[in-house]
Amino acid sequence: MTDQGSFTAWEMRPRGAARHKLFEPLAMRHAGVPLRAHMLDLSVSGALLHAERPPGIGDSVIIELQEFSAAAHVVWVRAKRFGVRFDVPLTETAVRAMLDDGGAGCA
């Protein structure tokens, strides 16, 4: 996927949820196909991911990191980075557990 152009007003809006930086490899499924990606930041509402071939805007993905699994939709793509919004927001406890131990126990 290539650069999708300028950021939209939606992408530039202030975020309500605190973002936590990390660099964690993960598995992602897109259209049933497993893909490798890295999580670059995380919040209760979504995440910033990096992949060699990012899915398209609006695509559904499943993010898997050890015991953690969440359905999400791609909301923007810029080069190899893309933002996802979780279909069901995570709890602060789940986010903290992922930050503390790489995702164990956050299902």
H/E run at residue 76: strand 68-78
pLDDT confidence bin for 107, thresholds 50/70/90: very low
Q: Which domains does the chain have, with CATH numbers?
A: 18-101 (2.40.10.220)
pLDDT digit string, tens, across residues 48-86? 999 999 999 999 999 998 788 999 999 999 999 999 999
d(CA 80, CA 52) in angstroms, rounded, equals 6
Mean pLDDT of the chain: 84
How much is the pLDDT for 19?
Answer: 83
* Contact predicate 24/39, CB 8 Å: yes
Give per-residue burial for 64-92: e unless 16+ CB within 10 Å, then b.
bbbebebebbbebbbebebbbebeeebee
